[in-house]
Amino acid sequence: VMKILVTGGAGFIGSHTCVELLEAGHDVVILDDLSNASGTVIDKIETITGKRPAFYQADAKDRTVLHEIFTAHRIDAVVHFAGFKAVGESCHIPLAYYRNNLDSTLALLEEMAQAGCTRFVFSSSATVYGPDNAIPYVETMPTYVATNPYGWTKVMIEQILRDYCTATPGFTAVLLRYFNPIGGHPSGLLGDDPNGIPNNLMPYIARVAAGQLDKLTIFGDDYPTPDGTCRRDYLHVVDLAKGHLKAIDYAMEHTGAEAFNLGTGHAVSVLELVNTFMEATGVNVPYVIGPRREGDLPQMWADTHKAETILGWKAEKTVADMCRASWNFVCSVKKQLCPVRNRNNKTAVSLRDGCFCCLHLVDPGGAVVRDRLPVHMGEQRDDRADAADDIEQRERHGKPELPVPRQGGHMLPLRQKDIERDDRVPQPALSEAGGPRQQCRADHAEALLCEQPQRNGAQQPGGARLATPLHN
């Protein structure tokens, strides 16, 4: 049994990796500042694995906390996910990207040196191959040209780790170059859940499918590819998480810096992914063709030979599996929206309104007693009871309705203690093999999901009465 420090362990890839580590019998310490993740992920990891990881909510640059962690735990290896990762944003605030991503890595390496910890697994990216290499990408190719500051942080950190390994015999750095991870945990509890409007393709498709966004824009269909849309190497996040176990095993037996591609070795176009999603889930995804997105390469995929032969790792899941898992996660999140009552037994139910959800106050009989309390999308999972309170307050004091917010608009405060729900019971998720897909066929999946029996058997005021979506 090893004790692994996972920075960014509450994030998309980090959380799935924590699950795999715990299920393999390892101890896990999570360090995450929750700047792009929810604290409820820690509970969900416990629900899935039956083990609660130690959790420190702090910035990975925070030397005091790092020192505390390395003093309190005998850490055998570090898996470093924490970092800023939005390509577009990195072009606008490059200093923040360099400061955050480089500093956290340096701070970790220095604390590891003090503690005598010598194994480091780094979340790198296929972006390090830059625009000039031929495809498929092979680990031996040069990686010194990135196309944006985010990509440069990955190139630079890889170089820092190589230099450090050269200077420090006995130290191991495994550089894992991820291609395009999508999907989620089969329980439906973990998945990719970005705040605001997603940048990446799969979370965007899933929100269009769920009716939270109107349509997908495909960025260009005039690329030199078979159908004209860009091709990527999408891999299932559970496969990717398993790759980290193999990387840790490798680190225990080797020293020095070594890079590995983690991908499937197959390219899938944007159109193929959209079509596979529709086939695999039975849900329609309206799309339009738009202009190209700046900086996109026509196609890329991994040469997976090295990971297969040296790590003994190979991605196993199909693109249809990935699509079902992504949809399953969105369906599960939506289910969590419904059964939350405030102290007066009123329920706040969210219904879509463009990109934003509006909350509607529903009495125990299911009638909508008050509607249109807008709430920012990113907040929607945790504030049902608060919202119900808030709507009632507004009623009582005759306060005007809030305007429907634009992105980054009004946010409701969280008051976890009022929320009556049990997140720890695994969802009756759609099975990976297909599941009761007709339940998700409706255009307005959310209202439909309110009709489903609640997993904890608790009374669900008004559930069945919301069969017809309410739109303003």
Among 5, 19, 30, 87, binds ligand UFG (CB under 6 A): 87
State which residue, 118 or 212, has the beta carbon closest to ligand UFG: 212
Q: In what helix (H) or strand (E) does residue 392 lie, and over which residues does it extend?
A: helix 384-397
Map residues 201-240 to x or -, x wherever contact with ligand UFG holds by CB under 6 A: x--x-----------xxxx----------x-x--------
Please report, for the chain, how many H helices and E strands are present, in that order: 13, 16
Instruction: For 123, list phi and psi in degrees, rounded to 5.
Output: -75, 90
Who contacts 447 (Cβ-Cβ below 8 Å, separation ≥6)?
351, 466, 467, 468, 469, 470
State which residue, 85 or 370, has the beta carbon closest to ligand UFG: 85
Among 118, 180, 264, 326, binds ligand UFG (CB under 6 A): 180
State which residue, 288 or 433, has the beta carbon closest to ligand UFG: 288
State which residue, 77 or 230, has the beta carbon closest to ligand UFG: 230
List the one residue out of 388, 339, 345, 326 whose CA is nearest residue 180: 326
d(CA 447, CA 442): 9
Among 47, 104, 105, 125, binds ligand UFG (CB under 6 A): 125
State which residue, 62 or 221, has the beta carbon closest to ligand UFG: 221
Binding piece for ligand UFG, criterion CB under 6 A, among 9-17, 193-201, 245-253, 401-409: 193-201
Asked if 205 and 56 touch (Cβ cutoff 8 Å), the reply is no
Is 56 in the active site?
no
268 binds ligand UFG, rule: CB under 6 A: no
Q: Using CA atoms in the order 313, 318, 322, 328, what is the torsion angle rounded to 10 degrees?
A: -120
Query: What Cα–Cα distance (Å) separates residue 170 from each residue in 97, 116, 257, 384?
Result: 30, 10, 11, 52
State the minimum distance, in angstroms, from the CB of residue 129 to ligand UFG.
8
State the minimum distance, in angstroms, from the CB of residue 127 to ligand UFG.
3
Exactly one of 97, 129, 150, 164 is catalytic; which is it?
A: 150
State the minimum distance, in angstroms, from the CB of residue 199 to ligand UFG.
6
126 binds ligand UFG, rule: CB under 6 A: yes
State the minimum distance, in angstroms, from the CB of residue 23 to ligand UFG.
26
List the one residue out of 64, 59, 63, 5 whose CA is nearest residue 32: 59
d(CA 331, CA 397): 36
348 pairs with which residues across the strands? 361
Asked if 359 and 392 touch (Cβ cutoff 8 Å), the reply is no
DSSP 319: H
What residues line the site for ligand UFG (CB under 6 A)? 85, 87, 125-127, 151, 180, 199-201, 204, 216-219, 230, 232, 270, 293, 296
Residues recognised as catalytic: 150
